[in-house]
Amino acid sequence: MRASAGLVALCSLTTAVVGDNAAELWEAGCSAFTLQDSPGVAVAGTAYYPAGALVNITNAFSSISTDTLPAFCRVELLITTNATSGKTANTEVWLPDAWNGRFIGFGNGGWGGGVNVADLGFVAMNQGFAGMSTDTGHSSNALNGTWGGPHNDDAIIDWSWRALHLSVGAGKEVVQQYYSKPASKSYYLGCSTGGRQGLKSVQEFPEDFDGVVVGSPANWMSHLQPWSIHIDLNVLPAGSPQWISPELWTGIIHDEVLRQCDNLDGVVDGIINNPLVCNFRPETLACRPGQNSSTCLNLAQIQALHQIYSTYYETNQTYIFAGYYPGGEQGYPEGLLTPTIEQISQNYYQYFILNDTTWDPTTLNYSIIQAGDESPVDLNAIETNITAYAGPGHNGKIIHYVGWADQLISPGNSLHYYETVHAYMQSATELNIDDYYRLFTVPGMQHWSVNGYGANAFGGASQAAGGTPPLSYDPVHNVVSAVVSWVEDGVAPDYFIAAYYQNNNQSQGVAFTRPLCKYPQNVVYAGGDVNQSTSFSCV
Ligand SMILES: *[C@@H]1O[C@H](CO)[C@@H](O)[C@H](O)[C@H]1NC(C)=O
Ligand SMILES: *[C@@H]1O[C@H](CO)[C@@H](O)[C@H](O)[C@H]1NC(C)=O
Ligand SMILES: *[C@@H]1O[C@H](CO)[C@@H](O)[C@H](O)[C@H]1NC(C)=O
Ligand SMILES: *[C@@H]1O[C@H](CO)[C@@H](O)[C@H](O)[C@H]1NC(C)=O
Ligand SMILES: *[C@@H]1O[C@H](CO)[C@@H](O)[C@H](O)[C@H]1NC(C)=O
Ligand SMILES: *[C@@H]1O[C@H](CO)[C@@H](O)[C@H](O)[C@H]1NC(C)=O
Ligand SMILES: *[C@@H]1O[C@H](CO)[C@@H](O)[C@H](O)[C@H]1NC(C)=O
Ligand SMILES: *[C@@H]1O[C@H](CO)[C@@H](O)[C@H](O)[C@H]1NC(C)=O
Ligand SMILES: *[C@@H]1O[C@H](CO)[C@@H](O)[C@H](O)[C@H]1NC(C)=O
Ligand SMILES: *[C@@H]1O[C@H](CO)[C@@H](O)[C@H](O)[C@H]1NC(C)=O
């Protein structure tokens, strides 16, 4: 007994010593790290964080404050993006001691300029990837786009694609020199602007990534921005007959949508699983003579709702963008009305397209939309020919997800891009879309993450950082593992199992799990416990 107890003690001591020695070696390697033979890329700093150390970093776009990460080396880079003008971008590469051999890049959001330190920590470090993210060449929060003007093309190009593309090259080089071997494969995760960045890489720089996960991409800027303004104009100004207060949206309108459509998927649970089959009729809410107006809608409000929910917004015989979908009313007050025109959209025209800070969004017309379409600096990522990425020369994979209750970018935009790629690629190649591009719709999920009512935790961008991590890191629960397994093992995801944490708060426990289905399938109740994913199927 004594002897074996001693042996156990000795073994744990030995392990501890070896572990500490290893950490010391990593720490020494981190602080001594310099980058060789990389013109235009300078190491601005390195810092080693032992396992469990406080990581407390804040920039204009992203922040992290935690003491739960494994040991890693943080390398900060200054990358010259235009040598003629001296333009630069700040980029970081985080290198875990316990490296899984892979590289992953992360995207940004809105007009944001700041390294995505949240996903570097909560996705890359926690899953063993060497992670990279860039500030896209400027510093700002997600809403403020004044840096784009007047005609600040160098900054806009960096935000559009250049800073990320150069950072991928620099990041892979850092990985190779730090670990003395290259990353085996390269991945990407991003949502919103991050989704656009991922699609831009697929379209323009197919070699950058082997597999990308894009969420709710803001990839059709020249149509998304006028759509946002158009949606706002349907109900503004506040106090006018057509104005719809937040209380009406989240109260009677949402309730009526649920009354009309919640049971179409077989279960009355407050979640619209397939809004495409919900033909919401707001007329049922029309005010009776003398009825209290906070319990019903006037005719101007009903007309506005028809515009807002129309499956697409058409002007001048031109498809502009998809409308809102029934079911997301809890978020629509935020998306629609602050109660001003959305800052992101106003900034788009004033600073990026028109160089006219006096431009009045209420005068939006078709020629303004065309000015966006024809902008010399391309902010879109809508190319449908992705043969170079998806074809046999590269075999790249795309997992795309979108929340059906997205309040900032209509999920119809995701369907539109997926289907335009589908149509083009089928007509121009022998490839089968299912072999390289799969779209998953998420009932009840709003834009970005950690909001809305529905199973919305599956390892997507910023989810773990926001307190809603995936239930496990296996490919059926974690979208990043799924793209790895698709690229490396040829196992494509057919569905995911996502969790809804009570009040979108992990510490309050899992309220229910649900499958996420591959478009065009949708979640349908099959019978059994409504809180178990196994009670649902994809049809
Ligand atoms: C993190 O840094 C901020 C300043 O950037 C500081 O205010 C805060 O107290 C720090 N948090 C911890 C836990 O040290
Ligand atoms: C780089 O900067 C120069 C000088 O400002 C400018 O003329 C040129 O257009 C820029 N190049 C690119 C690719 O943005
Ligand atoms: C946006 O950023 C600019 C430049 O930093 C700043 O001057 C301006 O006040 C900001 N606007 C808002 C609304 O925050
Ligand atoms: C109308 O209904 C609202 C909400 O139920 C209530 O607060 C308000 O007092 C009512 N107004 C009148 C005039 O009855
Ligand atoms: C942008 O507009 C301002 C104000 O009208 C003008 O002074 C400036 O020259 C314009 N800049 C560019 C690059 O067009
Ligand atoms: C559209 O708006 C722009 C800018 O406000 C204006 O110059 C133009 O005349 C308008 N076009 C039409 C067809 O109304
Ligand atoms: C409608 O589109 C056509 C073709 O792009 C354009 O010539 C015309 O000016 C547009 N009309 C309006 C009212 O914007
Ligand atoms: C589509 O992309 C492939 C690969 O880059 C290219 O060879 C082909 O010419 C493109 N097709 C068209 C019609 O542009
Ligand atoms: C999450 O729930 C815990 C336990 O109820 C609570 O202490 C915490 O403040 C919640 N977090 C947020 C962000 O609401
Ligand atoms: C399902 O979960 C909800 C919310 O946590 C709870 O109120 C309900 O009782 C559960 N239903 C079953 C059948 O367990």
Instruction: Give a three-class secondary structure readout of 404-445.
Output: CCCCCCCHHHHHHHHHHHHHHHHHHCCCCHHHCEEEEEECCE
Q: Residue 388, Cβ neighbours under 10 Å: how many?
A: 15
Architecture of domain 5-220+378-538: 3-Layer(aba) Sandwich (3.40)
Residue nearest to atom 4 of ligand 4 (CA): 294
- Smallest CA-to-CA distance from 110 within 376, 409, 371, 356 is with 409
**Long-range interactions of 517-522: CB distance < 8 A, separation 24+:** 517/440, 517/441, 518/438, 518/439, 518/440, 518/493, 518/494, 519/415, 519/418, 519/438, 519/439, 519/440, 519/441, 521/495, 522/265, 522/273, 522/274, 522/276, 522/441, 522/443
Q: Point out the ligand 6 atom lying closest to the alpha carbon of residue 354.
A: 4
Helix intervals (H) in 130-162: 153-157
Q: Which residue has the tokens 């529905």?
A: 454
Distance in Å, CA 452 to ligand 1 centroid: 29
Residue nearest to atom 13 of ligand 3 (CA): 144
The identity of residue 201, as a single letter, is S
Res 205: pLDDT? 98
Q: List beta partners, residue 45.
A: 76
Digitized pLDDT (tens) for each residue of the chain, 539 residues in all: 333 333 333 333 344 445 578 999 999 999 999 999 999 999 999 999 999 999 999 999 999 999 999 999 999 999 999 999 999 999 999 999 999 999 999 999 999 999 999 999 999 999 999 999 999 999 999 999 999 998 899 999 999 999 999 999 999 999 999 999 999 999 999 999 999 999 999 999 999 999 999 999 999 999 999 999 998 999 999 899 999 999 999 999 999 999 999 999 999 999 999 999 999 999 999 999 999 999 999 999 999 999 999 866 666 667 889 999 999 999 999 866 665 678 899 999 999 999 999 999 999 998 999 999 999 999 999 999 999 999 999 999 999 999 999 999 999 999 999 999 999 999 999 999 999 999 999 999 999 877 899 999 999 999 999 999 999 999 999 999 999 999 999 999 999 999 999 999 999 999 999 999 999 999 999 999 999 999 999 99
CA dist., res. 381 & res. 392, Å (int): 22
Pocket of ligand 4 contains residue 292 by CB under 6 Å: yes
Res 448: pLDDT? 86
Q: List beta partners, residue 500.
A: 512
Q: Point out the ligand 6 atom lying closest to the alpha carbon of residue 364.
A: 2
DSSP label at residue 161: I
Query: Catalytic residues, which ones?
Result: 192, 406, 447
Which residues, at least 6 apart from 222, have a Cβ–Cβ distance to it below 8 Å? Answer: 369, 372, 373, 375, 379, 380
- Smallest CA-to-CA distance from 92 within 125, 66, 53 is with 125
- Smallest CA-to-CA distance from 524 within 272, 255, 257 is with 272
CA dist., res. 119 & res. 137, Å (int): 18
CB 526 within 8 A of CB 511: no
Q: Which residue has the tokens 């459509």?
A: 261
Q: Is 39 helix (H, G, I), strand (E, B) or coil?
A: coil
Res 24: pLDDT? 94
Residues with CB under 6 A from ligand 1: 54, 56, 58, 65
DSSP label at residue 77: E
CA dist., res. 535 & res. 267, Å (int): 11
DSSP structure string for 260-312: HHGGGGT--SS--S-GGG----GGGGBPPTT--TTSSB-HHHHHHHHHHHSSE
DSSP label at residue 504: G
CB 212 within 8 A of CB 187: yes
Sign of the CA dihedral with 7 first, then 9, 12, and 16 last? negative
- Smallest CA-to-CA distance from 479 within 104, 196, 183 is with 104
Q: Is 398 helix (H, G, I), strand (E, B) or coil?
A: strand
CA dist., res. 122 & res. 352, Å (int): 33
Q: Residue 184, Cβ neighbours under 10 Å: how many?
A: 12
Distance in Å, CA 505 to ligand 9 centroid: 6
Mutate to test the pocket of ligand 6, among 354, 363, 366 (most ligand atoms within 8 A of CB): 363
Pocket of ligand 7 contains residue 315 by CB under 6 Å: no
Res 331: pLDDT? 94
CA distances from 131 to 1, 151, 171, 428 (A): 47, 32, 8, 35
CA dist., res. 188 & res. 209, Å (int): 7
Of the listed ligands, the closest to the CA of 296 is: 4
Which residues, at least 6 apart from 42, have a Cβ–Cβ distance to it below 8 Å? Answer: 35, 77, 78, 79
Of the listed ligands, the closest to the CA of 316 is: 7
- Smallest CA-to-CA distance from 208 within 217, 197, 222, 223 is with 197
Q: Point out the ligand 3 atom lying closest to the alpha carbon of residue 147.
A: 4
Q: Residue 24, Cβ neighbours under 10 Å: how many?
A: 12
Do the strands 103-106 and 211-215 form a parallel or antiparallel pair, or are they unpaired?
A: unpaired
CB 46 within 8 A of CB 54: no
Distance in Å, CA 412 to ligand 4 centroid: 36
Do the strands 103-106 and 130-134 form a parallel or antiparallel pair, or are they unpaired?
A: parallel
Encoded tokens for 68: 């739960």
CA dist., res. 431 & res. 388, Å (int): 12
Res 451: pLDDT? 85
CA dist., res. 235 & res. 191, Å (int): 28
DSSP label at residue 476: T
Residues with CB under 6 A from ligand 8: 385, 387-388
CB 118 within 8 A of CB 64: yes
In the chain, domain spans: 5-220+378-538, 224-373
